[in-house]
Amino acid sequence: MVHLSNDILEEVLCRLPIKCLIRFRCVSKSWLALISSPYFVKLHFNRSVQTKRNLRLFKSNLFQVDFDSLHDDDVLQEVKFRNYGFVPKSSCDGLLCMSNTRDTQRVLVWNPSTRRNPSKRWPNTIAEKNYPTTCLGDDFLSMPNVHAIDNVFLWNPSTRKALKLPYASIEIEKQIGLFNAYVYCVYRIGYDNTNDDYKVVRIVILSEPRSFSEYEIMVYSLRSNSWHRLEKFPHCPNWSNFGDCIVGGALHFMSIVKSDLKSENSIVAFDLGTEKCRVLPQPEYNGTPSKLCLDNLGGCLSLSCVYESSIVDVFLLKEYGGMKEHWSRLITLSRTSTFKIFHPLKPIAYSKCGKKVWLNMDDKRLVLYNLEQKSVEEIKDRDRSSTSLLYKYCLESLVTVDVPGTTKIIFGNWIHKEKIFKYAYCCAIQAT
């Protein structure tokens, strides 16, 4: 048999699914080195992105759907992870950032000397539990129930290896009242192409009704396996509409500035590499926007805009970061007698042929929009048995989270495969 050089072997191997590659690591030492090399991991990953293979969809309760097997079987196979109470908060390049299911926790306020809480709402036994504490007021300490910050993992479901992120305490200074204060944790993972590093941004928001929110930002770097604290953003984020879109190595969010006369929206990009913010220009709207929503559609930043007239436009930001950066309108939707629009409208993915786009309407319907014919092709109403239509994309990759000196955790055994009726989920699956 003719011998294949490493170059040719890479060309062949990068076309294999992840499961095969993991298996073939033990063929020989040179194959192990080749498959594990960072160059090959990137090559394979880039190929997956281009050919839209090796895709997964995740729902909040961690079901996975394997896109490739979809064409072989007629019935959708969903595989459930044993997730130990963790859910993916954000994903990038096949890595999931997982933490405890509850994002929002009530802040408990208590006085350590009297060991009583002023509101007398919670039993004193809470004081005996070993919660990390943060000093807020004079002699009051608040005890956020901080499972959300204590157990954070980076996990690659393909290699099954996980890394527990080091603990980083919350330090927010705010005078809070005694009741109804909440701590909310947001995690976003992204790739910093300046430093060839994966970064996790953690934003903890302390909020109270009838009061403004305070927040803190921490950034974790995989290379240094450590957190560092950042100054607050120069633009105040609109927390009710934070968005989940890391595009081009930057975290994007809507910022809102309210003055007496009006409120102004702006789109802010926080670069993971430079850790600086910049304001993006907005597109020319066809009316007065009443609601704006940011998303990541196929690697481009998308902006869904609902006008006061109830028409919806979806824009894409082209030539990101370049001289010719501009918004381009992709979709326009109008309400008709037969077609109702629910907000927010979130684009999920392109179909595999690239000519259609799947949109989620307020988790009530999935809509397939044909870009060439500029019309809605299909509508799927939410099945009663489905818990959510909010799918997130994740690519399968061999990206590793090996950090020297940390314990490797391997978790995520498949516990069972379920054959779910096509009806409830095929609309999302037709995205291939």
Task: Report whether 109 contacts 182 (CB < 8 A).
Answer: no
Closest CA to 96 of 392, 425, 402, 385: 392
How many CB atoms lie under 10 A from the CB of residue 125? 7
User: Taking CB under 8 A as the rule, which mask of x and - marks residues 97-126 in contact with another protein?
Assistant: ------------------------------
User: In the set 120, 374, 384, 416, which binds another protein (CB under 8 A)?
Assistant: 374
- The reply on whether position 342 binds another protein by CB under 8 A is no
Pairwise CA distance, residues 393 & 344, whole Å: 18
Pairwise CA distance, residues 233 & 264, whole Å: 16
- The reply on whether position 336 binds another protein by CB under 8 A is yes
**Nearest approach, Cβ of 388 to another protein (angstroms)?**
19
How many CB atoms lie under 10 A from the CB of residue 264? 10
Helix (H) or strand (E) holding 12: helix 6-13
Binding-site size for another protein (CB under 8 A) equals 69
Residue with tokens 């330090």: 171
**Nearest approach, Cβ of 23 to another protein (angstroms)?**
5
Stretch that binds another protein, among 58-66, 267-275, 370-378, 387-395 (CB under 8 A): 370-378
- The reply on whether position 17 binds another protein by CB under 8 A is yes
- 29 by Cβ neighbours in 10 Å (0-12 / 13-18 / 19+) ranks as exposed
Q: Which of residues 310-329 bind another protein (CB under 8 A)?
A: 311, 313, 315-316, 318, 326-329
Pairwise CA distance, residues 258 & 250, whole Å: 25
Which residue lies nearer to another protein by CB, 262 or 374?
374
- The reply on whether position 429 binds another protein by CB under 8 A is yes
- The reply on whether position 28 binds another protein by CB under 8 A is yes
Task: Report whether 286 contacts 311 (CB < 8 A).
Answer: yes
Query: Which residues contribute to the site for another protein (CB under 8 A)?
Result: 1-5, 7-8, 11-13, 15-17, 19-20, 22-29, 31-32, 70-71, 74, 159-160, 283-284, 286, 311, 313, 315-316, 318, 326-330, 332-334, 336, 338-339, 351-353, 355, 371-372, 374-379, 410, 413-414, 422-423, 426, 429-430
